Structure 1
Amino acid sequence: MSELVTGEAVALELRPAKLPSRGLAVVLDLTLAVVVYIILSIGLFAATSSLDEAAQTAVTIAGFVLILVGAPIAVETLTHGRSLGKMACGLRVVRDDGGPIRFRHALVRGGIGVVEILMTFGVVACVASLVSARGRRLGDVFAGTLVVRERVPVAPAGFLPPPPPWLAGRFSGLDLSAVPDGLWLAVRQYLTRMHQLDPQVGRGMAERLAADLVARTGTPVPSDVQPAAYLAAVLQERQAREVRRTFANGPAAPGGPVGATPPYGAPRQSPAPAVPAVAPAYAPPASWTPGSGPAPQQAPVGHPVAAPPAPPATEAGPGRSTGFAPPA
Protein backbone atom coordinates (compact mmCIF):
# COMPACT_ATOMS: atom_id res chain seq x y z
CA MET A 1 0.00 0.00 0.00
CA SER A 2 1.32 3.44 -0.93
CA GLU A 3 0.62 6.63 1.01
CA LEU A 4 0.30 9.60 -1.33
CA VAL A 5 -0.37 13.20 -0.30
CA THR A 6 -2.36 15.48 -2.58
CA GLY A 7 -1.89 19.20 -2.99
CA GLU A 8 -4.58 19.76 -0.35
CA ALA A 9 -2.53 17.69 2.17
CA VAL A 10 -5.03 14.82 2.01
CA ALA A 11 -3.47 11.41 2.52
CA LEU A 12 -4.53 8.86 -0.06
CA GLU A 13 -4.20 5.12 0.36
CA LEU A 14 -3.55 3.80 -3.16
CA ARG A 15 -2.74 0.20 -3.95
CA PRO A 16 0.07 -0.07 -6.54
CA ALA A 17 -0.52 -2.72 -9.17
CA LYS A 18 1.58 -5.86 -9.00
CA LEU A 19 3.85 -6.98 -11.80
CA PRO A 20 1.70 -9.97 -12.92
CA SER A 21 -1.43 -7.83 -13.39
CA ARG A 22 0.54 -5.12 -15.17
CA GLY A 23 2.18 -7.68 -17.45
CA LEU A 24 -1.19 -9.20 -18.32
CA ALA A 25 -2.57 -5.74 -19.17
CA VAL A 26 0.42 -5.03 -21.44
CA VAL A 27 0.02 -8.38 -23.20
CA LEU A 28 -3.67 -7.68 -23.86
CA ASP A 29 -2.89 -4.20 -25.20
CA LEU A 30 -0.07 -5.46 -27.43
CA THR A 31 -2.17 -8.34 -28.75
CA LEU A 32 -4.94 -5.97 -29.76
CA ALA A 33 -2.44 -3.49 -31.25
CA VAL A 34 -0.71 -6.21 -33.30
CA VAL A 35 -4.01 -7.49 -34.67
CA VAL A 36 -5.01 -3.97 -35.71
CA TYR A 37 -1.52 -3.38 -37.17
CA ILE A 38 -1.69 -6.56 -39.28
CA ILE A 39 -5.11 -5.66 -40.64
CA LEU A 40 -3.97 -2.09 -41.38
CA SER A 41 -0.75 -3.32 -43.01
CA ILE A 42 -2.69 -5.56 -45.37
CA GLY A 43 -4.89 -2.65 -46.36
CA LEU A 44 -1.92 -0.30 -46.80
CA PHE A 45 -0.02 -2.86 -48.86
CA ALA A 46 -2.94 -3.21 -51.22
CA ALA A 47 -3.37 0.56 -51.41
CA THR A 48 0.35 1.33 -51.97
CA SER A 49 1.18 -1.49 -54.37
CA SER A 50 1.62 1.03 -57.20
CA LEU A 51 4.22 3.08 -55.22
CA ASP A 52 7.94 2.49 -55.16
CA GLU A 53 9.73 0.56 -52.42
CA ALA A 54 10.79 3.67 -50.44
CA ALA A 55 7.25 4.97 -50.26
CA GLN A 56 5.96 1.60 -49.12
CA THR A 57 8.62 1.47 -46.39
CA ALA A 58 7.71 4.96 -45.19
CA VAL A 59 4.00 4.08 -45.05
CA THR A 60 4.80 0.89 -43.13
CA ILE A 61 6.90 2.76 -40.55
CA ALA A 62 4.19 5.40 -40.19
CA GLY A 63 1.56 2.72 -39.62
CA PHE A 64 3.77 1.03 -37.02
CA VAL A 65 4.30 4.25 -35.08
CA LEU A 66 0.63 5.17 -35.38
CA ILE A 67 -0.76 1.85 -34.14
CA LEU A 68 1.84 0.70 -31.59
CA VAL A 69 2.85 4.10 -30.19
CA GLY A 70 0.28 6.76 -31.05
CA ALA A 71 -2.83 4.69 -30.38
CA PRO A 72 -1.88 3.73 -26.75
CA ILE A 73 -0.98 7.35 -26.01
CA ALA A 74 -4.31 8.59 -27.37
CA VAL A 75 -6.29 5.93 -25.53
CA GLU A 76 -4.63 6.62 -22.15
CA THR A 77 -5.10 10.37 -22.64
CA LEU A 78 -8.80 10.12 -23.54
CA THR A 79 -9.62 7.55 -20.85
CA HIS A 80 -7.46 9.21 -18.14
CA GLY A 81 -5.08 6.28 -17.79
CA ARG A 82 -7.25 3.28 -18.66
CA SER A 83 -6.36 1.26 -21.73
CA LEU A 84 -8.36 -1.78 -22.77
CA GLY A 85 -5.94 -4.13 -21.03
CA LYS A 86 -5.97 -2.05 -17.84
CA MET A 87 -9.77 -1.94 -17.89
CA ALA A 88 -9.86 -5.73 -18.10
CA CYS A 89 -7.42 -6.07 -15.18
CA GLY A 90 -8.92 -3.27 -13.07
CA LEU A 91 -5.89 -0.95 -13.30
CA ARG A 92 -5.44 2.77 -13.92
CA VAL A 93 -2.50 5.12 -14.46
CA VAL A 94 -2.54 8.13 -12.11
CA ARG A 95 -0.13 10.91 -11.22
CA ASP A 96 2.07 10.74 -8.15
CA ASP A 97 -0.42 12.96 -6.32
CA GLY A 98 -3.33 10.68 -7.22
CA GLY A 99 -4.80 12.88 -9.95
CA PRO A 100 -5.65 11.85 -13.54
CA ILE A 101 -2.88 11.89 -16.13
CA ARG A 102 -2.72 14.24 -19.10
CA PHE A 103 -1.28 14.09 -22.59
CA ARG A 104 2.30 14.83 -21.54
CA HIS A 105 2.25 11.97 -19.00
CA ALA A 106 0.90 9.53 -21.58
CA LEU A 107 3.41 10.79 -24.18
CA VAL A 108 6.43 10.23 -21.91
CA ARG A 109 5.18 6.77 -20.84
CA GLY A 110 4.49 5.75 -24.44
CA GLY A 111 7.79 7.08 -25.80
CA ILE A 112 9.92 5.35 -23.17
CA GLY A 113 7.73 2.25 -23.42
CA VAL A 114 8.89 1.73 -27.01
CA VAL A 115 12.43 1.20 -25.69
CA GLU A 116 11.79 -0.72 -22.47
CA ILE A 117 8.85 -2.83 -23.71
CA LEU A 118 8.95 -3.20 -27.49
CA MET A 119 12.69 -3.14 -28.22
CA THR A 120 13.76 -5.18 -25.18
CA PHE A 121 10.66 -7.43 -25.10
CA GLY A 122 9.71 -6.07 -21.68
CA VAL A 123 12.92 -7.11 -19.88
CA VAL A 124 13.90 -3.58 -18.86
CA ALA A 125 10.35 -2.82 -17.70
CA CYS A 126 10.21 -5.99 -15.57
CA VAL A 127 13.57 -5.29 -13.92
CA ALA A 128 12.63 -1.66 -13.18
CA SER A 129 9.29 -2.72 -11.70
CA LEU A 130 10.94 -5.28 -9.44
CA VAL A 131 13.52 -2.78 -8.21
CA SER A 132 11.03 0.05 -7.59
CA ALA A 133 9.29 0.10 -4.21
CA ARG A 134 5.96 0.94 -5.86
CA GLY A 135 6.42 -1.22 -8.95
CA ARG A 136 7.08 1.62 -11.39
CA ARG A 137 8.87 1.17 -14.70
CA LEU A 138 11.14 3.79 -16.27
CA GLY A 139 8.26 5.41 -18.14
CA ASP A 140 6.39 5.94 -14.84
CA VAL A 141 9.50 7.34 -13.15
CA PHE A 142 10.16 9.94 -15.86
CA ALA A 143 6.48 10.78 -16.34
CA GLY A 144 5.71 11.00 -12.62
CA THR A 145 2.94 8.42 -12.78
CA LEU A 146 1.89 5.27 -10.95
CA VAL A 147 -0.26 2.29 -11.96
CA VAL A 148 -2.78 1.49 -9.23
CA ARG A 149 -5.53 -1.04 -8.70
CA GLU A 150 -9.11 0.17 -8.94
CA ARG A 151 -10.91 -3.06 -8.04
CA VAL A 152 -9.92 -3.85 -4.48
CA PRO A 153 -11.67 -6.05 -1.89
CA VAL A 154 -14.34 -4.08 -0.08
CA ALA A 155 -14.70 -4.65 3.62
CA PRO A 156 -18.21 -5.09 5.06
CA ALA A 157 -19.66 -1.66 5.67
CA GLY A 158 -21.76 -0.56 8.57
CA PHE A 159 -19.96 -2.40 11.42
CA LEU A 160 -19.04 -0.13 14.29
CA PRO A 161 -16.41 -1.50 16.67
CA PRO A 162 -17.71 -1.29 20.24
CA PRO A 163 -15.76 0.71 22.83
CA PRO A 164 -13.90 -1.03 25.64
CA PRO A 165 -16.26 -2.38 28.34
CA TRP A 166 -14.72 -0.21 31.03
CA LEU A 167 -15.88 2.90 29.14
CA ALA A 168 -19.56 1.94 29.27
CA GLY A 169 -21.56 4.81 30.77
CA ARG A 170 -18.49 6.94 31.46
CA PHE A 171 -19.68 9.76 29.18
CA SER A 172 -23.35 9.67 30.18
CA GLY A 173 -23.19 13.24 31.48
CA LEU A 174 -21.60 14.69 28.34
CA ASP A 175 -23.49 17.51 26.61
CA LEU A 176 -23.86 16.49 22.96
CA SER A 177 -26.43 19.05 21.88
CA ALA A 178 -23.89 21.27 20.07
CA VAL A 179 -22.33 18.48 17.97
CA PRO A 180 -23.50 18.80 14.33
CA ASP A 181 -24.70 15.86 12.27
CA GLY A 182 -21.79 16.24 9.85
CA LEU A 183 -19.29 15.57 12.64
CA TRP A 184 -21.24 12.49 13.77
CA LEU A 185 -21.15 11.21 10.20
CA ALA A 186 -17.39 11.76 10.00
CA VAL A 187 -16.87 9.90 13.29
CA ARG A 188 -18.99 6.99 12.09
CA GLN A 189 -17.17 6.76 8.77
CA TYR A 190 -13.82 6.81 10.52
CA LEU A 191 -14.80 4.03 12.94
CA THR A 192 -16.08 1.80 10.14
CA ARG A 193 -12.86 2.26 8.13
CA MET A 194 -10.23 2.64 10.85
CA HIS A 195 -8.81 -0.84 10.24
CA GLN A 196 -8.31 -0.07 6.53
CA LEU A 197 -6.21 3.04 7.13
CA ASP A 198 -2.52 3.36 7.71
CA PRO A 199 -1.86 3.41 11.51
CA GLN A 200 -0.28 6.85 11.48
CA VAL A 201 -2.97 8.32 9.22
CA GLY A 202 -5.73 6.76 11.31
CA ARG A 203 -4.24 8.01 14.57
CA GLY A 204 -3.99 11.57 13.27
CA MET A 205 -7.56 11.48 11.98
CA ALA A 206 -8.83 10.18 15.34
CA GLU A 207 -7.02 12.98 17.17
CA ARG A 208 -8.56 15.63 14.90
CA LEU A 209 -12.08 14.23 15.30
CA ALA A 210 -11.65 13.97 19.07
CA ALA A 211 -10.46 17.59 19.19
CA ASP A 212 -13.56 18.67 17.24
CA LEU A 213 -15.81 16.84 19.71
CA VAL A 214 -14.00 18.39 22.67
CA ALA A 215 -14.44 21.87 21.15
CA ARG A 216 -18.22 21.34 20.95
CA THR A 217 -18.79 19.48 24.22
CA GLY A 218 -16.43 21.50 26.41
CA THR A 219 -15.09 18.38 28.14
CA PRO A 220 -11.51 17.26 27.43
CA VAL A 221 -10.64 13.70 26.56
CA PRO A 222 -9.50 11.74 29.65
CA SER A 223 -5.77 11.16 29.70
CA ASP A 224 -6.18 7.40 30.03
CA VAL A 225 -8.47 7.05 26.98
CA GLN A 226 -7.17 6.79 23.43
CA PRO A 227 -8.82 9.04 20.80
CA ALA A 228 -10.32 6.11 18.84
CA ALA A 229 -11.80 4.56 22.00
CA TYR A 230 -13.12 7.99 23.03
CA LEU A 231 -14.88 8.39 19.68
CA ALA A 232 -16.42 4.93 19.91
CA ALA A 233 -17.65 5.51 23.48
CA VAL A 234 -19.15 8.92 22.71
CA LEU A 235 -20.86 7.62 19.59
CA GLN A 236 -22.32 4.71 21.56
CA GLU A 237 -23.60 7.17 24.19
CA ARG A 238 -25.25 9.23 21.48
CA GLN A 239 -26.92 6.14 20.01
CA ALA A 240 -28.17 5.09 23.43
CA ARG A 241 -29.73 8.52 23.93
CA GLU A 242 -31.39 8.32 20.53
CA VAL A 243 -32.87 4.94 21.46
CA ARG A 244 -34.22 6.26 24.75
CA ARG A 245 -35.67 9.31 23.03
CA THR A 246 -37.27 7.21 20.31
CA PHE A 247 -38.99 4.80 22.70
CA ALA A 248 -39.81 7.36 25.41
CA ASN A 249 -43.51 7.53 24.41
CA GLY A 250 -43.94 3.86 23.66
CA PRO A 251 -46.51 1.54 25.30
CA ALA A 252 -46.17 0.73 28.96
CA ALA A 253 -44.18 -2.32 29.89
CA PRO A 254 -45.96 -5.12 31.78
CA GLY A 255 -46.14 -4.12 35.42
CA GLY A 256 -44.55 -0.70 34.78
CA PRO A 257 -45.82 2.87 34.69
CA VAL A 258 -47.41 4.46 31.68
CA GLY A 259 -44.83 5.30 29.01
CA ALA A 260 -42.29 2.81 30.35
CA THR A 261 -40.71 0.53 27.81
CA PRO A 262 -38.98 -2.81 28.11
CA PRO A 263 -35.19 -2.85 27.95
CA TYR A 264 -33.68 -2.18 24.52
CA GLY A 265 -33.43 -5.38 22.57
CA ALA A 266 -36.13 -7.21 24.55
CA PRO A 267 -39.14 -8.37 22.55
CA ARG A 268 -42.31 -6.44 23.01
CA GLN A 269 -45.38 -8.28 24.27
CA SER A 270 -48.46 -7.49 22.31
CA PRO A 271 -51.65 -7.18 24.37
CA ALA A 272 -54.01 -10.15 24.35
CA PRO A 273 -56.92 -9.74 21.93
CA ALA A 274 -60.20 -8.73 23.47
CA VAL A 275 -62.62 -11.64 23.76
CA PRO A 276 -66.33 -10.71 23.66
CA ALA A 277 -68.28 -11.66 26.74
CA VAL A 278 -70.51 -14.66 26.29
CA ALA A 279 -73.84 -14.67 28.05
CA PRO A 280 -74.21 -17.54 30.47
CA ALA A 281 -76.31 -20.47 29.43
CA TYR A 282 -79.98 -20.21 30.36
CA ALA A 283 -81.08 -22.39 33.24
CA PRO A 284 -84.81 -23.17 33.71
CA PRO A 285 -86.47 -22.41 37.05
CA ALA A 286 -85.92 -24.91 39.82
CA SER A 287 -89.69 -25.48 40.15
CA TRP A 288 -89.95 -26.83 36.63
CA THR A 289 -89.73 -30.59 36.22
CA PRO A 290 -89.51 -32.54 33.03
CA GLY A 291 -92.83 -33.89 31.85
CA SER A 292 -94.89 -31.22 33.51
CA GLY A 293 -95.07 -29.08 30.38
CA PRO A 294 -93.05 -27.51 27.64
CA ALA A 295 -89.65 -26.17 28.69
CA PRO A 296 -89.49 -22.41 28.77
CA GLN A 297 -87.44 -20.75 25.98
CA GLN A 298 -84.61 -18.29 26.53
CA ALA A 299 -85.61 -14.73 25.77
CA PRO A 300 -83.45 -12.46 23.62
CA VAL A 301 -80.82 -10.38 25.35
CA GLY A 302 -82.31 -7.30 26.96
CA HIS A 303 -85.87 -8.71 27.11
CA PRO A 304 -87.49 -10.21 30.19
CA VAL A 305 -88.03 -13.92 30.23
CA ALA A 306 -91.67 -14.90 30.19
CA ALA A 307 -92.89 -17.08 33.00
CA PRO A 308 -93.62 -20.66 32.06
CA PRO A 309 -97.29 -21.47 31.49
CA ALA A 310 -99.18 -23.09 34.34
CA PRO A 311 -99.76 -26.83 34.01
CA PRO A 312 -103.29 -27.88 33.05
CA ALA A 313 -105.74 -28.67 35.82
CA THR A 314 -106.29 -32.37 36.54
CA GLU A 315 -108.58 -34.37 38.78
CA ALA A 316 -108.03 -34.17 42.46
CA GLY A 317 -106.36 -37.05 43.99
CA PRO A 318 -104.05 -37.97 46.76
CA GLY A 319 -101.13 -35.59 46.80
CA ARG A 320 -102.51 -33.49 43.93
CA SER A 321 -103.94 -29.93 44.01
CA THR A 322 -106.91 -29.03 41.79
CA GLY A 323 -106.30 -25.32 42.18
CA PHE A 324 -110.07 -24.82 43.02
CA ALA A 325 -111.14 -23.12 46.23
CA PRO A 326 -114.80 -23.90 47.35
CA PRO A 327 -116.96 -21.00 48.27
CA ALA A 328 -117.15 -20.10 51.93
Structure 2
Amino acid sequence: MLDTIRQIETPEGVFLRLRAAGALPRALAWLVDLVIRVTATVALTSPLMVLGEGGRGLYFIVVFVVTWMYGVICEVWFNGQTLGKRALDLRVVSADGAPVTLMPSVVRNLLRVVDILPGLYGVGLVAMLMDPHARRFGDIIAGTMVVHTAELQRGSQVPVIPSEPLPPGLSLEEQAAIVDFAERCPHLTPQRQRELADLLTPLTGLSGDEGVRRLVAYANDLLGRP
Protein backbone atom coordinates (compact mmCIF):
# COMPACT_ATOMS: atom_id res chain seq x y z
CA MET A 1 0.00 0.00 0.00
CA LEU A 2 1.18 3.50 -0.77
CA ASP A 3 -0.05 4.86 2.54
CA THR A 4 -3.05 4.56 4.82
CA ILE A 5 -4.01 8.23 5.12
CA ARG A 6 -7.44 9.30 3.91
CA GLN A 7 -8.15 13.03 3.64
CA ILE A 8 -11.83 13.98 3.66
CA GLU A 9 -13.43 17.38 3.22
CA THR A 10 -16.59 17.84 5.29
CA PRO A 11 -19.58 19.92 4.07
CA GLU A 12 -18.30 22.66 6.39
CA GLY A 13 -15.02 22.80 4.46
CA VAL A 14 -13.00 21.16 7.24
CA PHE A 15 -10.39 18.59 6.20
CA LEU A 16 -10.17 15.39 8.23
CA ARG A 17 -7.10 13.22 7.98
CA LEU A 18 -8.03 9.69 8.97
CA ARG A 19 -5.36 7.06 9.57
CA ALA A 20 -6.64 3.64 8.53
CA ALA A 21 -5.91 0.78 10.91
CA GLY A 22 -3.85 -2.07 9.52
CA ALA A 23 -4.18 -5.80 10.02
CA LEU A 24 -2.19 -6.11 13.27
CA PRO A 25 -4.10 -3.66 15.51
CA ARG A 26 -7.39 -4.91 14.10
CA ALA A 27 -6.41 -8.52 14.81
CA LEU A 28 -5.49 -7.62 18.40
CA ALA A 29 -8.81 -5.82 18.86
CA TRP A 30 -10.64 -8.88 17.48
CA LEU A 31 -8.80 -11.14 19.94
CA VAL A 32 -9.83 -8.90 22.86
CA ASP A 33 -13.44 -9.01 21.67
CA LEU A 34 -13.25 -12.80 21.23
CA VAL A 35 -12.09 -13.25 24.83
CA ILE A 36 -14.92 -10.99 26.03
CA ARG A 37 -17.55 -12.86 24.01
CA VAL A 38 -16.33 -16.31 25.08
CA THR A 39 -16.11 -15.24 28.74
CA ALA A 40 -19.64 -13.83 28.69
CA THR A 41 -21.02 -16.96 27.04
CA VAL A 42 -19.28 -19.35 29.46
CA ALA A 43 -20.33 -17.27 32.48
CA LEU A 44 -23.99 -17.55 31.47
CA THR A 45 -23.93 -21.26 30.58
CA SER A 46 -24.39 -22.77 34.05
CA PRO A 47 -27.08 -20.33 35.31
CA LEU A 48 -29.15 -20.79 32.16
CA MET A 49 -28.80 -24.58 31.97
CA VAL A 50 -30.32 -25.08 35.43
CA LEU A 51 -33.54 -23.57 34.05
CA GLY A 52 -34.20 -26.60 31.88
CA GLU A 53 -35.60 -26.32 28.36
CA GLY A 54 -36.35 -22.63 28.76
CA GLY A 55 -32.81 -21.98 29.91
CA ARG A 56 -31.37 -23.82 26.94
CA GLY A 57 -33.50 -21.71 24.63
CA LEU A 58 -32.25 -18.55 26.31
CA TYR A 59 -28.70 -19.85 26.01
CA PHE A 60 -28.95 -20.16 22.23
CA ILE A 61 -30.39 -16.64 22.06
CA VAL A 62 -27.43 -15.37 24.10
CA VAL A 63 -24.97 -17.17 21.81
CA PHE A 64 -26.65 -15.62 18.76
CA VAL A 65 -26.59 -12.10 20.22
CA VAL A 66 -22.98 -12.38 21.41
CA THR A 67 -21.82 -13.85 18.09
CA TRP A 68 -23.72 -11.70 15.60
CA MET A 69 -25.05 -8.61 17.39
CA TYR A 70 -22.20 -7.69 19.75
CA GLY A 71 -20.31 -5.81 17.02
CA VAL A 72 -23.41 -4.06 15.68
CA ILE A 73 -24.62 -2.94 19.11
CA CYS A 74 -21.21 -1.57 20.09
CA GLU A 75 -20.51 0.11 16.76
CA VAL A 76 -23.88 1.85 16.47
CA TRP A 77 -24.50 2.83 20.09
CA PHE A 78 -20.94 3.25 21.39
CA ASN A 79 -19.41 5.52 18.78
CA GLY A 80 -18.06 2.82 16.47
CA GLN A 81 -16.11 1.01 19.15
CA THR A 82 -16.35 -2.50 20.53
CA LEU A 83 -14.48 -3.06 23.78
CA GLY A 84 -11.57 -4.48 21.80
CA LYS A 85 -11.43 -1.50 19.46
CA ARG A 86 -11.63 0.87 22.43
CA ALA A 87 -8.67 -0.91 24.02
CA LEU A 88 -6.63 -0.48 20.81
CA ASP A 89 -7.87 3.09 20.15
CA LEU A 90 -9.71 2.09 16.96
CA ARG A 91 -13.10 3.11 15.62
CA VAL A 92 -15.41 2.08 12.78
CA VAL A 93 -16.57 5.04 10.66
CA SER A 94 -18.29 5.52 7.34
CA ALA A 95 -16.02 5.99 4.34
CA ASP A 96 -16.74 9.74 4.43
CA GLY A 97 -15.62 9.97 8.07
CA ALA A 98 -19.15 10.18 9.51
CA PRO A 99 -20.25 7.93 12.40
CA VAL A 100 -21.25 4.46 11.26
CA THR A 101 -25.01 3.80 11.12
CA LEU A 102 -27.11 0.67 11.62
CA MET A 103 -27.30 -0.89 8.15
CA PRO A 104 -23.60 -0.48 7.24
CA SER A 105 -22.68 -1.98 10.61
CA VAL A 106 -25.01 -4.93 10.06
CA VAL A 107 -23.58 -5.53 6.57
CA ARG A 108 -19.92 -5.39 7.63
CA ASN A 109 -20.52 -7.75 10.54
CA LEU A 110 -22.58 -10.27 8.56
CA LEU A 111 -19.94 -10.35 5.83
CA ARG A 112 -17.40 -11.65 8.32
CA VAL A 113 -18.56 -15.09 7.13
CA VAL A 114 -16.93 -14.23 3.78
CA ASP A 115 -13.86 -12.47 5.19
CA ILE A 116 -13.03 -15.41 7.46
CA LEU A 117 -12.77 -17.84 4.51
CA PRO A 118 -10.93 -20.15 4.00
CA GLY A 119 -9.81 -19.69 7.60
CA LEU A 120 -7.99 -17.15 9.77
CA TYR A 121 -9.63 -14.28 7.84
CA GLY A 122 -7.86 -15.19 4.60
CA VAL A 123 -10.23 -13.28 2.31
CA GLY A 124 -10.27 -10.30 4.66
CA LEU A 125 -6.47 -10.15 4.84
CA VAL A 126 -6.08 -10.28 1.06
CA ALA A 127 -8.67 -7.50 0.68
CA MET A 128 -6.88 -5.36 3.28
CA LEU A 129 -3.54 -5.77 1.54
CA MET A 130 -5.04 -4.76 -1.81
CA ASP A 131 -7.21 -1.87 -0.62
CA PRO A 132 -5.49 1.54 -0.24
CA HIS A 133 -7.28 2.09 3.08
CA ALA A 134 -6.80 -1.40 4.56
CA ARG A 135 -10.47 -2.36 4.36
CA ARG A 136 -11.60 -5.95 4.49
CA PHE A 137 -14.25 -7.19 2.06
CA GLY A 138 -17.09 -6.41 4.48
CA ASP A 139 -15.90 -2.82 4.91
CA ILE A 140 -15.65 -2.28 1.16
CA ILE A 141 -19.22 -3.50 0.58
CA ALA A 142 -20.63 -1.63 3.60
CA GLY A 143 -18.82 1.62 2.83
CA THR A 144 -17.00 1.68 6.17
CA MET A 145 -13.42 1.71 7.40
CA VAL A 146 -11.57 1.18 10.68
CA VAL A 147 -9.38 4.09 11.75
CA HIS A 148 -7.19 5.09 14.64
CA THR A 149 -9.20 7.35 16.95
CA ALA A 150 -6.67 10.18 17.00
CA GLU A 151 -6.93 12.36 13.91
CA LEU A 152 -3.55 12.66 12.25
CA GLN A 153 -2.01 16.10 12.61
CA ARG A 154 -1.02 17.62 9.28
CA GLY A 155 2.70 17.34 8.73
CA SER A 156 3.25 14.74 11.43
CA GLN A 157 4.77 12.26 8.96
CA VAL A 158 7.17 14.70 7.30
CA PRO A 159 10.77 13.56 7.95
CA VAL A 160 12.59 16.00 10.21
CA ILE A 161 15.62 17.57 8.49
CA PRO A 162 17.08 21.11 8.59
CA SER A 163 14.64 23.47 6.93
CA GLU A 164 15.32 25.73 3.97
CA PRO A 165 13.38 28.93 3.25
CA LEU A 166 10.64 28.48 0.68
CA PRO A 167 10.90 30.55 -2.50
CA PRO A 168 8.39 33.43 -2.45
CA GLY A 169 5.25 33.59 -4.53
CA LEU A 170 3.81 30.10 -4.01
CA SER A 171 0.06 29.79 -3.47
CA LEU A 172 -1.42 28.05 -0.44
CA GLU A 173 -2.37 25.10 -2.64
CA GLU A 174 1.21 24.79 -3.90
CA GLN A 175 2.56 24.99 -0.35
CA ALA A 176 0.10 22.28 0.74
CA ALA A 177 1.23 20.10 -2.18
CA ILE A 178 4.86 20.33 -0.99
CA VAL A 179 3.85 19.23 2.54
CA ASP A 180 1.77 16.38 1.10
CA PHE A 181 4.73 15.21 -1.00
CA ALA A 182 7.03 15.26 2.03
CA GLU A 183 4.49 13.29 4.08
CA ARG A 184 4.23 10.62 1.40
CA CYS A 185 7.99 10.28 0.95
CA PRO A 186 8.42 7.57 3.63
CA HIS A 187 5.87 5.45 1.76
CA LEU A 188 7.27 5.96 -1.75
CA THR A 189 10.13 4.13 -3.42
CA PRO A 190 13.29 6.24 -3.96
CA GLN A 191 12.67 6.04 -7.70
CA ARG A 192 9.15 7.44 -7.33
CA GLN A 193 10.41 10.16 -4.99
CA ARG A 194 12.96 11.30 -7.56
CA GLU A 195 10.41 11.12 -10.38
CA LEU A 196 8.01 13.44 -8.56
CA ALA A 197 10.73 15.78 -7.30
CA ASP A 198 12.12 16.19 -10.83
CA LEU A 199 8.81 17.72 -11.87
CA LEU A 200 9.62 20.61 -9.53
CA THR A 201 13.20 21.12 -10.66
CA PRO A 202 12.30 24.66 -11.89
CA LEU A 203 11.33 25.47 -8.28
CA THR A 204 14.14 23.72 -6.41
CA GLY A 205 16.94 24.09 -8.95
CA LEU A 206 17.91 20.49 -8.17
CA SER A 207 17.03 17.02 -9.41
CA GLY A 208 17.23 13.47 -8.16
CA ASP A 209 17.85 12.82 -4.47
CA GLU A 210 18.95 16.42 -3.89
CA GLY A 211 15.64 17.65 -5.29
CA VAL A 212 13.79 15.33 -2.91
CA ARG A 213 15.84 16.56 0.03
CA ARG A 214 15.18 20.22 -0.82
CA LEU A 215 11.41 19.68 -1.09
CA VAL A 216 11.39 17.98 2.31
CA ALA A 217 13.44 20.89 3.68
CA TYR A 218 10.86 23.31 2.25
CA ALA A 219 8.12 21.29 3.99
CA ASN A 220 9.96 21.58 7.30
CA ASP A 221 10.13 25.34 6.80
CA LEU A 222 6.37 25.48 6.15
CA LEU A 223 5.79 23.51 9.36
CA GLY A 224 7.83 26.03 11.35
CA ARG A 225 10.70 23.67 12.08
CA PRO A 226 14.26 25.02 12.45
Q: Which category of TM-score, normalised to the shorter sequence, fits these structures? A: 0.5 to 0.7
Corresponding residue number in structure 2 for 1:17: 21
CA distance in 2 between partners of 1:153 and 1:4 (Å): 10
Corresponding residue number in structure 2 for 1:92: 91
CA distance in 2 between partners of 1:128 and 1:165 (Å): 41
CA distance in 1 between partners of 2:102 and 2:79 (Å): 9
CA distance in 2 between partners of 1:92 and 1:72 (Å): 12
- Structure 1 counterpart SS, 2:138: helix
* Pairing of 1:23-62 with structure 2 (within 5 A): 23-47=27-51, 49=52, 51=53, 58-62=57-61
Q: Does the aligned pair in 1 maintain the 2:20–2:148 contact within 8 Å?
A: yes
Of structures 1 and 2, the one with the larger relative CO (CA 8 A, separation 6+) is 2
Pairwise CA RMSD of aligned residues? 4.1
Corresponding residue number in structure 2 for 1:316: none
CA distance in 2 between partners of 1:16 and 1:111 (Å): 21
Q: CA deviation at 1:147?
A: 0.8
Corresponding residue number in structure 2 for 1:2: 5
| Structure 2, unpaired ranges of 5+ | 157-161, 184-202, 205-217
Q: CA deviation at 1:60?
A: 3.7
CA distance in 1 between partners of 2:26 and 2:61 (Å): 27
Q: Does the aligned pair in 1 maintain the 2:127–2:134 contact within 8 Å?
A: yes
Corresponding residue number in structure 2 for 1:124: 123
The one of 180, 183, 189 equivalent to 1:198 is 180
- Structure 1 counterpart SS, 2:111: helix
* Pairing of 1:255-266 with structure 2 (within 5 A): none
* Pairing of 1:1-328 with structure 2 (within 5 A): 1-8=4-11, 10-47=14-51, 49=52, 51=53, 58-117=57-116, 120-151=119-150, 155=156, 164=165, 197-199=179-181
Q: Does the aligned pair in 2 maintain the 1:109–1:139 contact within 8 Å?
A: yes
Alignment size in residue pairs: 178
CA distance in 1 between partners of 2:61 and 2:117 (Å): 16
Q: Does the aligned pair in 2 maintain the 1:4–1:96 contact within 8 Å?
A: no
Instruction: Name the structure where helix makes up a greater proportion of residues.
Output: 2
Q: Does the aligned pair in 2 maintain the 1:4–1:98 contact within 8 Å?
A: no
CA distance in 2 between partners of 1:196 and 1:151 (Å): 24
Please list the CA deviations of residues 60-82 of structure 1 after superposition, one character each: whole Å capped at 9, or x if unmatched. 43221111211221011112211
- Structure 1 counterpart SS, 2:146: strand
CA distance in 2 between partners of 1:4 and 1:132 (Å): 16
Q: CA deviation at 1:58?
A: 4.5
Corresponding residue number in structure 2 for 1:268: none
CA distance in 1 between partners of 2:163 and 2:150 (Å): 29
Corresponding residue number in structure 2 for 1:287: none
Amino acid at match of 2:165: P
Residue identity over aligned pairs, in percent, reads 28
| Structure 1, unpaired ranges of 5+ | 156-160, 168-186, 202-223, 236-328
Amino acid at match of 2:180: D
After superposition, the Cα gap between the structure-2 partners of 1:165 and 1:114, relative to the gap in structure 1 and judged at 3 Å, is: closer
